[in-house]
Amino acid sequence: MSLVEVQNVTKVYKRDTMEIPVLQNISLSVPEGEFLALMGPSGSGKTTLLNLISGIDQPTSGSIVVQGTDISKLNEGALAKWRSHHIGFVFQFYNLLPVMTAYENVELPLLLTNLSKKQKKERVEMVLKVVGLEDRMDHYPRQLSGGQQQRVAIARAIVTDPTLIIGDEPTGDLDRKSAEEILILLGRLNSEFKKTIVMVTHDPHAAESAHKIQHLDKGELRAN
Amino acid sequence: MKVLKLIYKNLFRHKLRSFLTILGIAVAVFMFGFVSTVVTAWSYGVDAASADRLITRHAVSFIFPLPYSYRDQIAGIPGVSKVSYATWFQGIYKDQSFENFFPRLACDPETIFDVYPEFILPPDQLAAFKKQRNGCVIGQKLVTQHGFKIGDIIPVKGDIYPGDWEFVVVGIYKGRDQTIDETQMFFNWEYLNERNRQAASFATDNVGWYIVQIANPNEAANVSETVDALYSNSAAKTKTETEKAFQQSFVSLSGAIITSLEVVSYVIIGIILMVLANTIIMSARERVREYAVLRTLGFTSWHVVGLIAGESIFTSMIGGVLGILVTFPIANGFGAAFPTMFPVFAVAPMTVAVAFSFSILVGVVAAIFPSIRSANMKIVDGLRQIG
């Protein structure tokens, strides 16, 4: 059963009077439990596709249905709420808030829930344990290595138990060893915790961790 | 509530910047409060004026005297409950320095404390004042400033009324509350008139002005008209007005200065606004990517607006409170240093309320532009920003 259904999606950016087509009539299906890697050269539109699937951008035409919800029809407020429940983000540059500890960064998405303080604490501690950083929860991002920061970001992405994990070059800013650790962690999330993952990467080695690789080139999709 | 923790964390992200911004706001709020207090102090007489008192003076100018004989005639006008009078004596105590200046007034001991019930004088001291021809009553602040006590002799060199004068302190009055002037010296008009008579002065049997107490403040206009009509064909025509209008005429002489001070105080508010707006815009710009990340996680544009506005308002509020707290001791010190220039120099509750409101308003206004900008920015554009 497909968790994500992308149907005939086109995305055109407008820059002043110019129209720049980025995605052209893309259709894609991501089954539940899939670990999909999207590859392609710079400017091919892979991050744009990721943004559309995760509901932080809207398609110019076409529809995107995630777990039965057509997110291309949701307004901004509804989309924000939908993201908080269904999407976990892992960015290339971690994007942790520097003024907050690892614990507080992971707790951030839970601030939007009605969980009790105790329940939040249990959740945060559990996911930090999953990513192996239970002993670093009081550390600020600047006190952590790149790999550790990315693991905090992954903990933040999974703390709400989302439907879909989105990774935008999650290993792009890491050394080989740290990248390997992150890929193993993502693999575990997929195999042990049955999380569906869509990951954009430039790195063929990172893409090999996925079950399926799809290539985007000049806004068009082709299977590996 | 969801963003309070973040607001708190962001507030101290750049400690030096936050400290300097808060300090700037505190200084500006203090300046606003202080200047407002000066303006208020300048016109304290207007605020302290009683509704049931009229002042009758010479129609041409306050400096021209009125005949003493008017007293009984005015007292006989319907609606008038009591009449007192006073004359500006001036004189020089020690020297002409500012510290040694204080108002010295010749008055009627029998009535002056009846028409000014806000000056509290113990009955035995009032009795002594009525009895002793060269006695004087001084305000409590003069005691504090010059160390006068009962029985002391205050030597004054006359200028308007030449000669050497000696006044024996027989009483010390206190104000009913802190808005009452405690820097004046009252002495017996008879003492002045006696010396004038001996010197065959032009001022013999003349008074400076009459203080007319009326039974019903609503009758002020009618009584004033009646008094002035009574002397419309005399050599010394009168002008009668409420005490508030009389005091206002003094204040209006300094109208340009007061207006300038008021303008300055609002310019200060404008400066705080720009300082804070600059800081908030700078902070918001630095955090565009973070706001985008928050929105990616499910926070809404309103949460982002709350973050920016909250930080702005908290910053301005902390600065405002500090500025207000600093205003009190400095204003008190200033008031103590210049008691005769500003007989009543106290930070008014209204000044505190306005200063605090302004600090909040500045926080709100400073946040408007960066809030709109951040809330309207697309998440994908925010994520592209280099933090």
> What sign results for the dihedral spanned by CA atoms A73, A76, A79, A81?
negative
Single-letter residue type at A67:
Q
More confident residue, B385 or A122: A122
From CA A57, how far away is CA A49, in angstroms rounded? 9
Alpha-carbon distance B334 to B325, whole Å? Answer: 15
> Residue range A84-111: average pLDDT?
93
Q: Which of B201, B205, B169 is nearest to B187 (CA)?
A: B169
- Tell me the ipTM for this assembly: 0.91
> In chain A, which residues touch B (CB < 8 A)?
51, 54, 56-57, 76-77, 80-81, 83-85, 87, 89, 91, 95, 97-100, 104, 108-109, 111-112, 156
Q: What percent of chain A has pLDDT over 70?
A: 99
Cβ B297–A156 below 8 Å, yes or no?
yes
pLDDT of residue B2: 65
End-to-end CA distance of chain B: 26
State residue B204 phi and psi, 5-degree precision.
-60, 135
Whether the CB-CB separation of B72 and B54 falls below 8 Å is answered with no
pLDDT per residue of chain B (387 residues) written in tens, 0 to 9:
567 888 888 888 888 989 999 999 999 899 999 988 888 887 776 777 788 999 999 999 888 999 999 999 999 999 999 999 999 999 999 998 888 889 999 999 999 999 999 999 999 999 999 999 999 999 999 998 899 999 999 999 998 999 999 999 999 999 988 778 899 999 999 999 999 898 877 789 999 999 999 999 999 999 999 999 999 999 899 999 999 888 887 777 777 888 888 888 888 888 888 888 888 888 888 889 999 999 999 999 999 999 999 999 999 999 999 999 999 999 989 888 877 677 778 898 999 999 999 889 889 998 999 999 888 899 988 988 764
Distance of CA B317 to CAs A85, A127, B17, B26, B128, Å?
Answer: 36, 38, 16, 9, 54
Q: Which has the higher per-residue pLDDT, A159 or B250? A: A159
Q: What is the pLDDT of residue B1?
A: 59
Residues of A in contact with B283 (CB under 8 A): none
- Tell me if A112 and B10 make a contact (CB, 8 A cut-off): no
Chain B residues contacting A, CB < 8 Å?
2, 5-6, 9-10, 12-13, 289-290, 293-301, 378-380, 383
Mean pLDDT of A125-150: 94
Distance to chain A for B22, nearest Cα, Å = 20
Nearest to A84 among B12, B298, B380 (CB): B298
- Residue among A56, A98, A112 minimizing CB distance to B296: A56
Average pLDDT taken over every residue of chain A: 91
Q: Do B297 and A77 touch (CB under 8 A)?
A: no
What distances in angstroms separate CA B173 from CA B88, B138, B245, B247, one per listed residue? 19, 6, 25, 21
What angle (nearest 5°) sits at the alpha carbon of residue A119, between those of residues A116 and A123?
A: 140
Least CB-CB distance to B2: which of A54, A98, A112? A112
